[in-house]
Amino acid sequence: DTAVSQTPKYLVTQMGNDKSIKCEQNLGHDTMYWYKQDSKKFLKIMFSYNNKELIINETVPNRFSPKSPDKAHLNLHINSLELGDSAVYFCASSQEDRAYYEQYFGPGTRLTVT
Amino acid sequence: AQSVTQLGSHVSVSEGALVLLRCNYSSSVPPYLFWYVQYPNQGLQLLLKYTSAATLVKGINGFEAEFKKSETSFHLTKPSAHMSDAAEYFCAVSDRGATGGFKTIFGAGTRLFVKA
């Protein structure tokens, strides 16, 4: 029974298109995150939601819009895709928005923009 | 702001040898530190974490890390490497974001190679 799941696992699309990635966690956690991992494996937080409320919004282009319909789901919509958006996107969750809680990661979505 | 620095982007050891992956942190307050492992084409999973309860922290798969405040270090070790340990390892620290929520700051990662 997967704790944090993401769909799709692979996404290949052309520049200018709009795409969405979905994430679900069945751990009963309050806090969810989106991360971007580039080709050098560098991992950077994009957004964080706590109980459906946006609490972290790093310097991410406005083309990226997260949505949390409920505590268990956090989706990421990307408009007008660019070549530089190619990366692996990870969803994660933690029990609460506290410094000492570890995060549980999904398997990732590999986005390739051509 | 908190940060972590991992020394060495690649580390290669022989099977059965000691594994030592280095991490130094920068923090103005007592830090919460983590080590995560990422196997190829997978998400990250927690190896261990330091939350000030004990300076020597034991994790999964035989890994442990020691928090040394005087050296601002949190190095990861394993006495005997196994082929299955080959992966990317990330040191991380919790930090408070500008809007109050907590976020995890990851190091650049260290790729561990294990030779037969």
pLDDT per position as a tens digit, B92-113: 999 888 878 888 999 999 999 9
The backbone region for A25, taken as left when phi is positive above 0, alpha when psi lies in -120 to 50, beta otherwise, is beta
Task: Flag whether pLDDT at B59 surpasses 80.
Answer: yes
Determine which of A10, A49, A56 to mutate to test the interface with B (most B C-beta atoms within 10 Å).
A56
Cβ of residue A39 closer than 8 Å to a chain B Cβ = no
State whether A55 and B99 contact (CB < 8 Å).
yes
CB B52 within 8 A of CB B29: no
- Distance, CA of B30 to CA of A20 (rounded, Å): 38
Place of tokens 């459906």: A52
Supply the pLDDT for residue A1: 67
Task: Flag whether pLDDT at A97 surpasses 90.
Answer: no
State whether A48 and B34 contact (CB < 8 Å).
no
Cβ of residue B42 closer than 8 Å to a chain A Cβ = yes
